[in-house]
Amino acid sequence: MTRILDTIDSPAQLKKLTPAQLTELATELRQEIIETVALRGGHLAPNLGTVELTLALHIAFDTPYDKLVWDIGHQAYPHKLVTGRRDRFRTIKQLGGISGYLRRDESEYDAFGASHASTSISAALGMAAARDLQGKHYKVVAIIGDGALTGGMALEAINNAGAMQKDLIIVLNDNDKSISDNVGALHAYLGKIRADKHYRQLREALGHTLDHMPGGSLAKGVAERSARSAKEFVLPSRSGVIFEELGFTFLGPFDGHDTQQMVDVFRMAGELHGPIMVQVITQKGRGASFAEADPTKFHGPGAYDPVTGEMKKKSGEPPKYQDVFADALVELAERDRTIVGITAAMAEGTSLNKFQKAYPDRYFDVGIAEQHAVTFAAGLACEHMKPVAAIYSTFMQRAFDQVIHDVCVQNLHVVFPMDRAGIVGEDGHTQHGVFDVGFMRMMPNMKVLAPKDENELRHMLYTALCLDGPVALRYPRGNGLGVEMETEFKKLPVGKAELLTPEAEIKHAECAILGFGNMVAPALQAAQELAAEDNICAVAVNARWAKPLDEELILRLARATKTLVTVEDGMAATGFGSAVAELLHARGLHDVRLKVIGLPDTFVEHGTPAILRELYGLTSGHIKDVVRELVRPGTHSGYPVSKPAKGTTKETTR
Ligand SMILES: Cc1ncc(C[n+]2csc(CCOP(=O)(O)OP(=O)(O)O)c2C)c(N)n1
C-alpha cells in the first residue's frame, strides 16, 4: 500500500489532507524516523515529539514564504521529510547525504542553520526586523525547546523582542526535558504554568471557544476583529505570566500532539500583532515505547533494533575517552574535596553524571549555558575551589570571552576538559571541535594539552589539577586506543613533549614528525613504516602541549633534521603546527622546511570520522606521503589521499 508520506513532496500538500489522513501520516513519519535512525544512529526522541507540531506549522503557515526557524535543528527530521527530502532521508548524516541539522544551502524551507542551541529567537527577530524594513509581510516563527530556552542568547532575544514589539511567533516546544532532565528556575516556572489549574482552565476555555467559532476556526473569527480585541477575547488577562509582563502575548499550554488544535492556535497567533509565545506540550520519544520510557538514552542513540530499541553494542571495545575522564575525576575528587564538576546540560555526553552520582553536592548542571558555566567556574576558583568545567570543544566556542575575560585575565585555576575535540563525524560542520587549539592557545596564561591515548588522559587531568591558572585539555570523541591503563596518576612536566624514537636516532634522522593528541598514533605509525618501507629515518614525537611548546626539543629536532612535519586533528591555521611555525620564525630558523598537516580553511562536512580523516589527510598514509615528498621528492607511492582537500597541507619553508 502506498504511504501517504510517499505522496508528500511539499508542505502545500499537507493542507489538503483530512484529519484522519494527518493522523495516518503522523504514524508513517514516526515509523520512517524510527527505522532510519535505527540503522546508524541519530536524534530519535526529540523528533518523535515534534511530528504533529511540524504538520501543524506547515499547515497553518505558508512555508517557505513564512519562515520557520527551528532552534538547534535536531528535532527537525519530520520537517525534512515533508519538505522534499523524503527520498534522501536515509542518507542523513552520511558523507554526501543530507545533514542531521538544518542548513540554508540544503533547502529553501530551512530558514536558518544551526545545531548550537538558543539561537532561534535572535535569528527570527532579525528576520522580522528585515521584513518590516523591506515592507514585506511574511510571518516568522521560532520553535525552541524548553532546554534551549535555558541558554543566555534565548533570554537576551526575549528581552529584545519584548521591547521591539515586532510581529513574531515563538513556539515553545515544552517536553520537560533537555537531553537529561531540564534544570533551572525557568524550567521550574514553566512546570508551574503547565500544572497550574488556572491555566488549565484557560486552555479548556480556549478549546471551547475554538469549537464554537463559526466554521470551527478561531482565526476566521479573529480576522473579523481587530488584533487587539482578539487578544483580549482569547486571553483577557494573564498578568503574572512572566512572558506577558515582558511584552509577549502568551498562549497555552496546548497539547502538542493535537494537530487540529495547533493549526487553529497558530493561525490565530498569525493574526495577532507583537511578539506571541505559544507553549505546546510534547512528549519526547512519543510512539516508540523504548524511547518514551528513556528519552535521555534515546535522545541521540547509536544504531539499535527498531522494534525493541536494543542498542547494537560492540563488546570488548576500549573505554570511551569521556568515561576515562569522568572515572579519573571521580577518583581524584575523593582525595581533593575542593574539586567541583560543572556541565552545561551535557551530563551524559561528558560522563559527568558519574561525578554527579559520587559527589552530588559538588556537581553543577547549569543548563545550556556555556558562558555562564565558565564564569561560574571562575567564581568558584576565586574562592579556592578547583572547578572542572567539562564542555565539548564546539560548545566552548560560545564562551570565548568568558575564558579570556573572567578566567585568563585573572589567571584563575579552572580546568577545561574539552570533549569531542577534533573531527566528530556525522554531526557535521557545526559540531566538529576543530577551532579550540587556536582560540585557547592565543590567550595569555592558558595552557593547552592533548593526550596521545586514554591512559595519558588520566595523567593529563591529574597534571591539569596540580597546576595553577587556566588549563584546556582536549580529547576526542569515542573510544580510546585500548592501551594498558596505569592506576597511579603521574604529573607530567609542563611544556615537555615525549620523544617516541630513541634519542640516539636524532642525529641520523631526516625528518621529525610531531603529532598532537590523537594524531600521535598515526604519526608514530608513519615513522615506523617509513623506516621499514623506504629506509627513511623519521623521529616521532608526542607533542603533548600546544602551549607551552617544548621549544627546546622542537628547536633541537629542527636543527638536526631541517625538516619538520606537524599533524593535528584541528584547523591548520592557528593550531599546533602554526605554533611551531611561529617558534621557528621567532628563532630565525629560516632554513627549516615545515609541513603543517591539519584541516584547511573550510567547514568540514558530515560523515564518519574515518572517512573524513581519509578525506583530509589525517592518516599515517598521508603523513608518509608528505615526508617522502620532503626527503625523497618524486618517490611517494601515490597514496589515494595524497591530494587531500585543498589547503590541507600548509608548507612553510624557512
Ligand atoms: C550551545 C549548545 N550546548 C549544548 C548543546 C547540546 N544539546 C543538543 S540538544 C540539547 C537539549 C535541547 O533541549 P530542548 O531544547 O528542550 O530540545 P529537546 O531535545 O528536548 O526537544 C542539548 C543540550 C547544543 N546543541 N548547543
3-class DSSP state for residue 148?
Answer: helix
For residue 75, the CA-to-ligand 1 centroid distance in Å is: 10
For residue 82, the CA-to-ligand 1 centroid distance in Å is: 23
Q: How far apart are CA 41 and CA 300, in angstroms?
A: 7
- Report the nearest atom of ligand 1 relative to the CA of 118: 1
Residue-level pLDDT at 644: 46
For the cut 70, the answer to whether the pLDDT of residue 113 exceeds it is: yes
Name the pairing type of β-strands 649-653 and 168-174.
unpaired
Find how far residue 339's CA is from the centre of its chain. 26
Report the nearest-CA residue for atom 16 of ligand 1. Answer: 147
Find how far residue 287's CA is from the centre of its chain. 26
For residue 65, the CA-to-ligand 1 centroid distance in Å is: 27
160-169, 304-313, 518-527: the lowest-pLDDT one: 304-313
179 lines ligand 1 (CB under 6 A): yes
Task: Give the neighbor-by-neighbor strand order of the sheet with 563-571.
Answer: 498-499, 538-542, 511-515, 563-571, 593-599, 649-653
CA angle 623, 628, 629 (to 5 degrees): 100
What is the per-residue pLDDT across 36-69, written as a single tens digit (0 to 9) for each?
A: 999 999 999 999 999 999 999 999 999 999 999 9
154 lines ligand 1 (CB under 6 A): no
- Based on the residue annotation, tell me whether 398 is a catalytic residue of this protein: yes
380 lines ligand 1 (CB under 6 A): no
Tell me which of 43, 153, 179 to substitute to probe ligand 1's pocket, judged by most ligand atoms within 8 Å of the beta carbon: 179
- Based on the residue annotation, tell me whether 15 is a catalytic residue of this protein: no
For the cut 90, the answer to whether the pLDDT of residue 221 exceeds it is: no
Residue range 113-136: mean pLDDT, rounded: 98
Residues 6+ apart with CB under 8 A from 65: 138
420 lines ligand 1 (CB under 6 A): no
147 lines ligand 1 (CB under 6 A): yes
End-to-end CA distance of the chain: 69
353 C-beta neighbours (distance < 10 Å), count: 19
Residue-level pLDDT at 239: 55
74 lines ligand 1 (CB under 6 A): yes
Residue ranges in 61-196 assigned as alpha helix (H):
77-82, 120-133, 152-164, 185-195
Per the prediction, the chain carries an average pLDDT of: 92
Q: Contact at 8 Å (CB) between 441 and 448?
A: yes
Q: Catalytic pick from 370, 456, 510, 568? A: 370
What is the per-residue pLDDT across 584-622, written as a single tens digit (0 to 9) for each?
A: 999 999 999 999 999 999 999 999 999 999 999 999 999
97-111, 311-325, 432-446, 545-559: the lowest-pLDDT one: 311-325
What is the per-residue pLDDT across 165-209, written as a single tens digit (0 to 9) for each?
A: 999 999 999 999 999 999 999 999 998 888 775 555 555 655 555
What is the per-residue pLDDT across 305-363, written as a single tens digit (0 to 9) for each?
A: 999 999 987 788 999 999 999 999 999 999 999 999 999 999 999 999 999 999 999 99
For residue 179, the CA-to-ligand 1 centroid distance in Å is: 6
Report the nearest-CA residue for atom 22 of ligand 1. Answer: 179
Q: How far apart are CA 472 and CA 440, in angstroms?
A: 7
Q: How far apart are CA 245 and CA 542, in angstroms?
A: 58
In order of their start, the domains of the chain are 5-281 (3.40.50.970), 323-474 (3.40.50.970), 498-653 (3.40.50.920)
295 lines ligand 1 (CB under 6 A): no
- Report the nearest atom of ligand 1 relative to the CA of 149: 15
Q: Catalytic pick from 139, 203, 284, 562? A: 284
366 lines ligand 1 (CB under 6 A): no
Closest Cα partner for 172 from 252, 269, 279? 279
Side-chain half-sphere CA neighbours of 130 within 13 A:
10
148 lines ligand 1 (CB under 6 A): yes
Q: How far apart are CA 181 and CA 175, in angstroms?
A: 10
- Report the nearest atom of ligand 1 relative to the CA of 145: 15
Residue-level pLDDT at 228: 40
Please indicate whether residue 223 or residue 308 has the higher confidence score (pLDDT). Answer: 308
